[in-house]
C-alpha cells in the first residue's frame, strides 16, 4: 500500500452503492493469489493450465475423491465438473480410475504432472504471503490469517 492510500480510502463510500462488502474484500485478494499461481505455473512450463483449472485443483485437491463429491464440494454441477476433469485428464494432470469400493463409480487420481505442479502453486502462495506480511507487518498479517482460519472453521 502506498503512503498516500489508507484502508479508509478503499472502504469509503466512493461508489453509489457504498463501501465494498466482505465478499469483495475477500474476492480481490483471492484473485491476486490465483493470478500469481497461474503466472508461476506458466513460468514453470505448465502453460496449458487455465484459471478454471485452478478451481478443480484448489486446496485440498481432488485426489481420491469421487467426481460427485468434488462437484458438491466445489458447488458446481456434475456436468461442469466432468468437463473440467476431461480437460485436465487430456492434459495429463489427472485420471479417473475405478473405485475399489464401488466398481460403478470412479475416483480422481492426480498424475505425476499434477503432483509436480503442487510445489509451484505452494511456492507462489508463499511468495505472495511474504509480500503481504512485509506490506501489512507480521502482526497484522498474522491476525488476518488467524481470523480467516477461524472463519473457515465456522463455515
Length of the chain: 155
Residue 10 has pLDDT above 70, yes or no: no
Confidence at residue 16, expressed as pLDDT on a 0 to 100 scale: 85
Confidence at residue 103, expressed as pLDDT on a 0 to 100 scale: 83
Closest CA to 49 of 78, 90, 82: 90
Residue 108's DSSP bridge partners are 96
Q: How confident is the model at residue 61 (pLDDT cuts 50, 70, 90)?
A: very high
CA 143 – CA 147 distance, rounded (Å): 6
9 assigned to some structural domain? no
147 assigned to some structural domain? yes
15 assigned to some structural domain? no
pLDDT tens per residue across span 84-112: 999 999 999 999 999 988 888 999 999 99
Confidence at residue 7, expressed as pLDDT on a 0 to 100 scale: 52
Closest CA to 106 of 74, 70, 66, 64: 66
What would the DSSP string read from start to end of 61-126?
Answer: --TT--HHHHHHHHT--HHHHHHHHHHHHHTTSEEEEE-SS-TTSEEEEE-HHHHHHHHHHHHHHH
What is the residue range of 144's domain? 22-154
pLDDT above 90 covers what percent of the chain? 83
2 assigned to some structural domain? no
pTM: 0.84
Question: How many domains is the chain built from?
Answer: 1
66: left (phi over 0), alpha (psi -120 to 50) or beta: beta
Mean pLDDT, to the nearest integer, of 21-40? 96
Q: How confident is the model at residue 14 (pLDDT cuts 50, 70, 90)?
A: low
CA 26 – CA 148 distance, rounded (Å): 10
CATH code, domain carrying 48: 1.10.10.10
Confidence at residue 2, expressed as pLDDT on a 0 to 100 scale: 44
Confidence at residue 102, expressed as pLDDT on a 0 to 100 scale: 87
Q: How confident is the model at residue 51 (pLDDT cuts 50, 70, 90)?
A: very high
Amino acid at each position: 500500500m502506498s503512503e498516500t492510500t489508507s484502508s479508509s480510502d478503499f472502504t469509503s463510500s466512493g461508489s453509489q452503492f457504498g463501501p465494498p462488502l466482505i465478499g469483495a474484500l475477500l474476492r480481490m485478494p483471492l484473485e491476486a493469489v490465483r493470478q500469481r499461481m497461474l503466472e508461476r505455473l506458466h513460468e514453470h512450463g505448465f502453460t496449458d493450465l487455465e484459471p478454471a483449472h485452478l478451481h478443480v485443483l484448489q486446496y485440498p485437491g481432488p485426489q481420491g475423491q469421487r467426481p460427485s463429491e468434488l462437484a458438491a464440494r466445489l458447488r458446481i454441477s456434475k456436468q461442469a465438473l466432468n468437463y473440467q476433469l476431461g480437460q485436465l485428464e487430456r492434459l495429463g494432470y489427472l485420471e479417473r480410475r475405478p473405485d475399489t469400493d464401488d466398481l460403478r463409480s470412479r475416483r480422481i487420481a492426480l498424475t505425476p504432472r499434477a503432483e509436480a505442479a503442487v510445489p509451484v502453486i505452494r511456492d507462489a502462495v508463499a511468495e505472495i504471503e511474504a509480500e503481504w506480511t512485509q506490506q501489512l507487518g507480521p502482526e497484522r498479517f498474522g491476525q488476518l490469517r488467524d481470523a480467516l482460519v477461524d472463519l473457515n472453521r465456522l463455515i
